[in-house]
Structure 1
Amino acid sequence: MNQENQKIINGLIIDPIIFTQKFVKACDVCICSGECCYYGVYTDKSEYEKILSVKDRIIKSMDDSQTKNVEDWFEEEQEDSDFPSGIAVGTEVYNGKCVFLDKQGFCTLQKIAIEDGEHKWKYKPLYCILFPLVIFEGKLTIDDEHLNRMHYCNKSINQVSTIFETCKNELKFVLGEEGFKELEEYRNEYFKLNKKKDHEAA
């Protein structure tokens, strides 16, 4: 797709691969033990600060496979224009998984939000919420490098849906309800255009 035909919604360039890339029907940590969280994640500085603001609550909910030493939770800050603040802070890996992933494969950040009656993604970094989607250089696309590391989600036998179908709530979260409606319209236009091209080429 050339630059003139790029679809932009809420400031993000939409990569149409999200309409066709196959993926699992739904996330189920009982199957994969939160495999996508093994490598940690980059957080925006504001997300990093929000997490630290509830560090005592997080520590209370951690199990013996996790480090309760706050100094071991994050890497050093680095500049990154894909983050709203311009600063990214990576979570550390401890015991072969993200410091916030417990031994059952559940995210402690999501767990405490649910336990406290908050929205499940209140403390969860955007890039955790979005996977296998990612925002790269202003484009909403597929984190194929990370996806290729997976032992369950990247197997064709398990990919019975598309990322668009599986990640509707995540797409609504990042684009908003109106933005998601615009995305649905773009998806319909995309398939209609490609069907026409296929017919003309036949």
Structure 2
Amino acid sequence: MKRTIIKNCFLFLLVILLSTKISGGVEKKKYKALVKKPNSIITTYYLYDYSKESAKENLALNGWEVLKIEEVPIESSNEDLIQKGFFSPSYKLRLLKIFYFEKGAYSFNFDNETISLLKKLKKGKRYYLYGHTDSLPVIPNEKFKNNYELSILRANFVKGLVKKYAGIDENVYVVGFDAFYPIESNSFDGSKKNRRVELYESD
């Protein structure tokens, strides 16, 4: 009886271990990369990957030239990454809404609740739209060639809604984060939670 219990516990732990390795959740490390694109400024990206070589390859596939890359500590939450990331302003941001997208899409069908929220935005505030994708490679087309451009398109789509329903244009800022700030691990089908645009407000 005791041996059976021990055996079952071992098998249970083995299943958990294998599942964790398959998902890649705990094995991914966080990297800070200094990158640039042709005729573009040098900037910094943060991303999660299994190794430095794999991270460099993913950056290169998205059109980035990697000047320097190093492993850095992982913060406790995605919100920490946004607040402490390279693109963050020095003042506090307040998350108002997250908009989700289907695979490869840069627009969505919005409802009356979304319109009502946008109409309540105040013209004296600043708004930041952070576009994200999952890690699935895209099929290059006339609209976008990589996940970075797709993340920009998604943010710009929401910016268009803000302009239309809130009448705000000048104080709305768009940033594309590519696939480098996932909320959850991506599966073979990607992740809808990672295909998103976050709407932030600041004074």
TM-score, reference length from structure 1: 0.22
Structure whose residues are more often strand by fraction: 2
Q: Specify the structure having the higher radius of gyration (Cα).
A: 2
Structure whose residues are more often helix by fraction: 1
